[in-house]
Amino acid sequence: MKISITKVSRKLFILLFWIFVWELCSLFINNDILLPSPIEVFQVLMKLFYKSYFWLSVFSSVGRVLLGLLLSIGIGVVMGIIAGLNKYVEELLEPLLITIKSTPIMSIIILALVWFKSTNVAIFTSILICFPIIYTNVLQGIKSVDLQLIQMADIYKVKNKYIIKDIYIPSIKHYIVSGILMCLGLGWKVSVTSEVLATPKYSIGLNLLNSKAMLETSELFAWTVVVVLLSFAFELAFKYYMKKTDKLSVN
């Protein structure tokens, strides 16, 4: 308990230190349009909390990010396993993956604007950016599976579904987890960037764009803080979930 209190207080101190640095910079620049103070941003954030469009925008963006991430994970895991088990599929997918990875995010967003409704652009872009990360990690995990265990399972004529469930999935679990952790932050960045360009009716991206157009830098910062906090909350929730499932599987 003592250790966790020390850890929390240390983290709180680090947070306060950086807010203090922000405050100092703001005092030094002394121009609210260029860099508002943390107190002012906090006050704007408090005002936003009481507005319904704030919550509508937040929930809509959260929904898009969640859907994009879940679909990326699903597609990445399934395709990664298939490609990991079949060299021909891996070779077939390689050019597609290289193309997606090297295509600029802006090109993907602009293409998506042509192909989809504004509400779906962020989901599509998140999938295209996040799924290759999950896919590559799963593929790497499959290749690092202990072949001696596979040999043992083959000799005992174990069905493929059990080999996947009991040998492959546990071996690739850590690779999937690290892929998801990478995608949690990236998913938010890509999704909000897409919203800025696609401007769906309720979205954090649209509010960022409006703040910029009105030169409301404090509001721009407030919305950015919201994105950072949401991304952090996603990561915490995921880590908590993983800790809980690890405990359950040990018990």
Neighbours of 150 (CB within 10 A): 14
Q: Does 152 bind other proteins (CB under 8 A)?
A: yes
Judged by CB under 8 A, which of 13, 50, 88, 156 binds other proteins?
A: 156
Q: Does 247 bind other proteins (CB under 8 A)?
A: no
Instruction: State how far the Cα of 151 lies from the Cα of 170, in Å rounded to an integer.
Output: 17
Query: Is the Cβ of residue 74 or residue 170 nearer to other proteins in the bound state?
Result: 170
Query: Is the Cβ of residue 201 or residue 243 nearer to other proteins in the bound state?
Result: 243
Instruction: State how far the Cα of 139 lies from the Cα of 83, in Å rounded to an integer.
Output: 7
Q: Does 158 bind other proteins (CB under 8 A)?
A: yes
> CB–CB of 73/129 below 8 Å?
no
Judged by CB under 8 A, which of 149, 177, 197, 230 binds other proteins?
A: 149
Instruction: State how far the Cα of 70 lies from the Cα of 90, in Å rounded to an integer.
Output: 22
**Residues in the chain, overall count:** 251
Q: Does 167 bind other proteins (CB under 8 A)?
A: yes
Judged by CB under 8 A, which of 151, 240, 243, 244 binds other proteins?
A: 151
Q: Does 144 bind other proteins (CB under 8 A)?
A: no
Query: What tokens were used for 68?
Result: 């994009």
Closest separation in Å from C-beta 178 to other proteins? 18
Q: Does 242 bind other proteins (CB under 8 A)?
A: no
What letters, b where the CB count within 10 A reaches 16 and e where it falls short, cover 171-206?
bbeebbeebbeebbebbbebbbbbbbbbebebbbbb
Q: Does 166 bind other proteins (CB under 8 A)?
A: yes
Query: Is the Cβ of residue 2 or residue 157 nearer to other proteins in the bound state?
Result: 157
Q: Does 162 bind other proteins (CB under 8 A)?
A: yes
Q: What 3-state class would DSSP assign to 120?
A: helix
Q: Does 155 bind other proteins (CB under 8 A)?
A: yes
Q: Does 251 bind other proteins (CB under 8 A)?
A: no
Listed as own residue / partner, the contacts of 234-241 with beta carbons closer than 8 Å and 24 or more positions apart are: 234/65, 234/184, 234/188, 235/181, 235/184, 235/185, 238/180, 238/181, 238/184, 239/181
Per CB under 8 A, which region of 25-33, 125-133, 147-155, 234-242 contacts other proteins? 147-155
Query: Is the Cβ of residue 153 or residue 209 nearer to other proteins in the bound state?
Result: 153
User: Would you tell me which residues interact with other proteins (CB under 8 A)?
Assistant: 148-149, 151-159, 162, 166-167, 170, 249
